[in-house]
Amino acid sequence: MSILVLRPDSWNFPLILHVGGAMAMVGCLILAAGALALAARTTVPAEGASLTRFGFRTLLWAAIPTYLVMRIGAEWLYTKEFNGDNDPAWVGVGYITSDSGALLLIIGTILTGIASRRLGRDPERRTVLGRIGAALLALLLVSFTIAIWAMTTKPS
């Protein structure tokens, strides 16, 4: 006997916000981290400044807004699915990764913004802030991969 398991229709729109926002955010993080990694490797100062600026703008104008869409969708779903008592472990993993991820994302954006500003004034200047920002983004991507695992396998 097979049992058809479908979630209520009212969950679908917040789920689209949550999953779609998360997918777009991960793409933005990979794009920004890639641009910052290229900036760290290039030997042409003008290229480094341009790539760092692109990485910063991607974080500020794309990664943070998509994070907010993902997080709003998550909270909306949570209010429909759970009442705050006896949350399963995977919900906790989601909260930990998203809340700590927000902190890392904000710090990474600020550091990259400072690097972009400094390189905009003097492209010849050497700065490690962009590299630190790229490292934080790489850490974020690892933690979000764990979140994807938790959201799909739902360990109890």
Partner 1 sequence: MNWYHALLFVHVLAAFLAVAGVVMYLGFLTATGSGASAPGQAPLLRLAPLATGLWNVGGLGTIIFGVWLAINRPQYELWDAWVIAAIVLWVIASAAGGRVGVGYRALRRGTGAPASAAIHAAMAVAVALLLIDMIYKPGA
Helix (H) / strand (E) element for 133: namely helix 129-153
107 binds partner 1 (CB under 8 A): no
Question: Which residues make Cβ contacts (< 8 Å) with residue 8, sequence separation at least 6?
Answer: 80
145 binds partner 1 (CB under 8 A): yes
46 binds partner 1 (CB under 8 A): yes
4: helix, strand or coil: coil
Give the chain's radius of gyration (CA, Å).
18
8 binds partner 1 (CB under 8 A): no
2 binds partner 1 (CB under 8 A): yes
CB–CB of 74/98 below 8 Å?
Answer: yes
26 binds partner 1 (CB under 8 A): yes
Closer residue to partner 1 in complex, CB, 44/107: 44
89 binds partner 1 (CB under 8 A): no
Tell me how far apart the alpha carbons of residues 94 and 65 are, in angstroms, rounded to a whole number.
18
Site residues, partner 1 (CB under 8 A): 2-6, 12, 15-16, 19-20, 22-24, 26-28, 30-31, 34-35, 38, 42, 44, 46-47, 50-51, 54, 58, 62, 145, 148-149, 151-155
